[in-house]
Amino acid sequence: MVQNTKIPDILASFDEAMAASERLRDTFARMGETNLQEVAERNIASITDARTSFLSVFQPRELRRHVDVHPADEDLEPGVCDE
């Protein structure tokens, strides 16, 4: 399993890949290369799917460690109220 400390790096890599694909798509569009633009759009969709799949394998607790969560809320599951 991926170490929790690696999650931000992996998410940043997805963001970088997405930004690069979007730049390629825009460049191809300006050039009028519709076939290559479509390939770039499919690549963007694939990156989005891969990022979603990656995130789905981690339990919410593992992901919450990388966002600002109060320690008292650490063990709460999403949608569960502690009141």
Angle, helices 34-56/7-31, rounded to nearest 10 degrees: 170
CA neighbours within 13 Å on the CB side: how many for 13? 8
Torsions phi, psi for 15 (to 5 deg): -60, -40
- Specify the pTM: 0.65
DSSP 76: P
Q: What is the pLDDT of residues 2-41, one digit of tens each?
A: 556 688 888 899 999 999 999 999 999 999 999 999 999 9
